[in-house]
Amino acid sequence: MPAKNTRSRYGWVSVGIHWLMAMVVIGMFALGIWMRQLSYYDPWYQDGPTIHKSIGVLLFILLLARIGWRSINIRPKDDPVLKKWERTTAHLTHFAMYGLMLMLMTAGYLISTADGRQIEVFNFFSVPATLHGIENQEDIAGEIHEILAWALILLAGVHALAALKHHFINRDSTLLKMLGRDANNTIANSPQKEPEL
């Protein structure tokens, strides 16, 4: 598998970043839900949020890397059997997920720095608190963060179901390309039909 994308499949860099981010986002969502159940005297009351913040910063860096990599790479062609509305919906979903992640991480940053303290990332480096002291900053950002987290996980779920539908029902190359498989072989062996406008 090549490092860069081709017109028929994604390269290993795109594939690796995609699946790593998918696993981390799901894990962060689960960690966030679990943290809400912790009592003040639980030993994870401090450690859970510290891990959540650190991973969140690293995920933000990975997201920027993914956007940058996407901007300098070609994108594999859509499967020719896809309808126009399916192609449009897929592209809009991708942009919506990028936007949700950026806003979600920004809200998380505003929660973490509301009291003016920097974010320590696994004691390797720190992120300064550049915007703090806003009235009710932690509470407002916290509510936004939760809403965006649910929106992202629901949209990601729809995205995953759509990929499975294309793979098992439509039997096209949509999912295979993100598994690093060459779509040309699949397209050549699948029944063709004219895409609907």
What would the pLDDT profile of 143-180 be if each residue is shown by its tens digit? 999 999 999 999 999 999 999 999 999 898 889 988 88
Residue 196, pLDDT above cutoff 60: no
Cα angle value 23/74/101 (rounded, 5°): 35
Concatenate the DSSP letters of all residues of 100-130 into one string: HHHHHHHHHHHHHTTTSPPEEETTTEEE---
Burial 97-122 (b: 16+ CB within 10 A, else e): beebbebbbbbbbbbbbbeeeebebe
**What local confidence, expressed as pLDDT, does residue 185 receive?**
61
**What local confidence, expressed as pLDDT, does residue 187 receive?**
44
* SS3 label, residue 196: coil
Residue 24, pLDDT above cutoff 90: yes
What would the pLDDT profile of 77-118 be if each residue is shown by its tens digit? 988 888 999 999 999 999 999 999 999 999 999 999 999 999
Compare 178 and 126 and report the one with higher pLDDT.
126
